Structure 1
Amino acid sequence: MSGNELKYIEKVFESNYIAPLGEYVNKFEDSIKNYTGTKNALAVTSGTAAIHLALRVLGIDKGDDVLASTFTFIGSVNAILYQGANPVFIDSDKESWNLSPKLLNKYLCECDKKPKALIVTHLYGQCADIEKIANICNLHGVYLIEDAAESLGATYNGRHTGTFGDFGIYSFNGNKILTTSGGGMLVSPNKDWIDKAKFYSTQAKEPFIHYEHEEYGYNYRMSNVLAAIGVGQMEVIEERVQKKREIFKWYKEFLKNCDEVEFMPELDNSRGNRWLTAMIFKKSDYNEIMKALEQVNVESRPLWKPMHMQKLFKNNKAIVDGTSEELFKKGLCVASSTTMNKGDVQMICDVIKDNLI
Structure 2
Amino acid sequence: MFKEGDNLKNNRIFLSPPHMSGDEINYVIDAFDSNWIAPLGPHVDAFEKEVADYVNTKGALALSSGTAALHLALKLVGVKEEDVVFCSSLTFVGSANPILYLGAIPVFIDSELESWNMCPKSLKKAFVSMENKGQLPKAVIITNLYGQSADMDPLVNICKSYNVPIIEDAAESLGATYKNKASGTFGKFGVFSFNGNKIITTSGGGMLISDDVEALDKARFFATQSRDPAIHYEHSSIGYNYRLSNILAAIGRAQLNVIEKRIQERRNIYLKYYQELSNIKGITFMPEIKYGFSTRWLTTLTLDEKVTGIQSKNIINTLLLKHNIEVRPVWKPMHLQPLFKQCEFFSNEEKNVSEHLFANGICLPSGSNLTAEEQTHVISCFLNTMPNSGM
- Smaller-chain TM-score bracket: over 0.9
| Secondary structure in structure 2 of the residue aligned to 1:222 | coil
Deviation readout 1:86-121 (Å, 9 max, x if unpaired):
000000011111110111012213322100100110
Q: In 2, Cα distance between the equivalents of 1:287 and 1:327?
A: 12
| Secondary structure in structure 2 of the residue aligned to 1:301 | coil
Match of residue 164 from structure 2: 142
Structure 1 contact 251–346 (Cα < 8 Å) conserved: no
Q: How does 1:254-333 map to 2 (within 5 A)?
A: 254-283=276-305, 284-294=310-320, 295-321=322-348, 322-333=352-363
Match of residue 247 from structure 2: 225
Match of residue 63 from structure 1: 82
Structure 2 contact 278–284 (Cα < 8 Å) conserved: no
Deviation of the 1:256 alpha carbon: 2.8
Match of residue 121 from structure 2: 102
> Would you say 1:347 and 2:377 are equivalent positions?
yes
CA RMSD of aligned residues (A): 1.0
Q: In 1, Cα distance between the equivalents of 2:260 and 2:54?
A: 10
Deviation of the 1:343 alpha carbon: 3.5
Calculate percent identity across the aligned residue pairs.
48
Q: In 1, Cα distance between the equivalents of 2:158 and 2:82?
A: 23
Deviation readout 1:59-102 (Å, 9 max, x if unpaired):
10000000000000000110000000000000001111111011
Match of residue 128 from structure 1: 150
Match of residue 11 from structure 1: 30
Deviation readout 1:10-59 (Å, 9 max, x if unpaired):
01001111111100001110110111101110000000000000011111
Match of residue 43 from structure 2: 24
Q: In 2, Cα distance between the equivalents of 1:208 and 1:181?
A: 33
Q: Which stretch shows the higher mean deviation, 335-344 or 37-46? A: 335-344
Q: Which stretch shows the higher mean deviation, 37-46 or 258-267? A: 258-267
Q: In 2, Cα distance between the equivalents of 1:130 and 1:78?
A: 23
Match of residue 200 from structure 1: 222
Structure 2 counterpart of 1:298, one-letter code: I
Q: In 2, Cα distance between the equivalents of 1:259 and 1:21?
A: 53
Unmatched 5+ stretches in structure 1 = none
Unmatched 5+ stretches in structure 2 = 1-19
Structure 2 counterpart of 1:109, one-letter code: V
> Would you say 1:155 and 2:177 are equivalent positions?
yes
Compare CA radii of gyration and give the structure with the larger one.
Answer: 2
Deviating runs (4+, > 6 A) in structure 1? none
| Secondary structure in structure 2 of the residue aligned to 1:347 | helix
Deviation readout 1:210-252 (Å, 9 max, x if unpaired):
1111111100000000000000000000001111111000000
Structure 1 contact 131–164 (Cα < 8 Å) conserved: no
| Secondary structure in structure 1 of the residue aligned to 2:38 | coil
Match of residue 15 from structure 2: none
Q: In 1, Cα distance between the equivalents of 2:373 and 2:245?
A: 39
| Secondary structure in structure 2 of the residue aligned to 1:41 | strand
Structure 2 counterpart of 1:236, one-letter code: V
Q: In 2, Cα distance between the equivalents of 1:139 and 1:2?
A: 45
Q: How does 1:159-178 map to 2 (within 5 A)?
A: 159-178=181-200
Q: In 2, Cα distance between the equivalents of 1:117 and 1:334?
A: 33
Deviation of the 1:209 alpha carbon: 1.2
> Would you say 1:338 and 2:338 are equivalent positions?
no
TM-score by length of structure 1 reads 0.98
Q: In 1, Cα distance between the equivalents of 2:250 and 2:69?
A: 19
Deviation of the 1:207 alpha carbon: 1.1
Q: In 1, Cα distance between the equivalents of 2:156 and 2:44?
A: 30
Q: In 2, Cα distance between the equivalents of 1:155 and 1:305?
A: 25
Q: Which stretch shows the higher mean deviation, 145-154 or 294-303? A: 294-303
TM-score by length of structure 2 reads 0.90
